[in-house]
Amino acid sequence: MLQRLPLRERRDLLIAWLAISIAFTLIYIRGGVDPIGLVFYFVMSLVTVGVAFVLHELAHKFAAMRYGYWAEFKKDNQMLLVAVVMAALVGVVFAAPGATYVYGNATKAENGRISAAGPLTNLILCIPFAALMLFGGGGLIGLVGLVGLRVNAMIAAFNLLPISVLDGRKVLAWNPVVFAVLMAASAGLLFWSLF
């Protein structure tokens, strides 16, 4: 699998993973935390937000490659900086750390399936995190489960918005039923994780 990830792409994914993990850590530690808490929230962000983001982008890449297209994630330095600065100053994360670019002339159906792969991956990731939340008790494991469930549902729902360059526009153009099912599942899981 690593041979399908050029060094430049691995570097971009790693930098974006670290940057959004730092941004979310800054959200969690607002109001102060001790050094052990800082390390815990950073590791939790790496595991929850970072994994959700990386696997979402890799799902797009490998779905595109399944159709014979080359695809590669490229970080957006400006958006990475915005994510970290907004988290530090305002307490809000707007994370658009980059995108997976597909090279070739994909059909509407191929483009829709490639775009659906990312949010679908996040929905699948909700399952183990929900299990951690439900069976991990009220301690750290339960907290990691809750955060992982919420983050994956949030990433799926956000990316399914049918606007601009987001996945939702391409999924809706390909198959409105698939779009509706994915959006309902994402919104339902997000709602459940919030309450």
Residues taking part in catalysis: 57
Whole-number Cα distances in Å, 99 to 26, 38, 57, 73, 171? 23, 28, 7, 5, 16
Question: Which residue intervals of the chain are DSSP H helices?
Answer: 7-28, 35-45, 51-66, 77-89, 108-135, 140-159, 167-174, 176-194
Whole-number Cα distances in Å, 162 to 85, 138, 152, 174, 190? 27, 36, 18, 12, 17
Place of tokens 């909700």: 126
Orientation angle between helical segments 7-28 and 51-66, nearest 10 degrees: 150
Amino acid of residue 131: A
Q: For residues 36 and 10, what is the distance between their CA atoms, to the nearest angstrom?
A: 29
The answer to whether the beta carbons of residues 18 and 77 sit under 8 Å apart is no
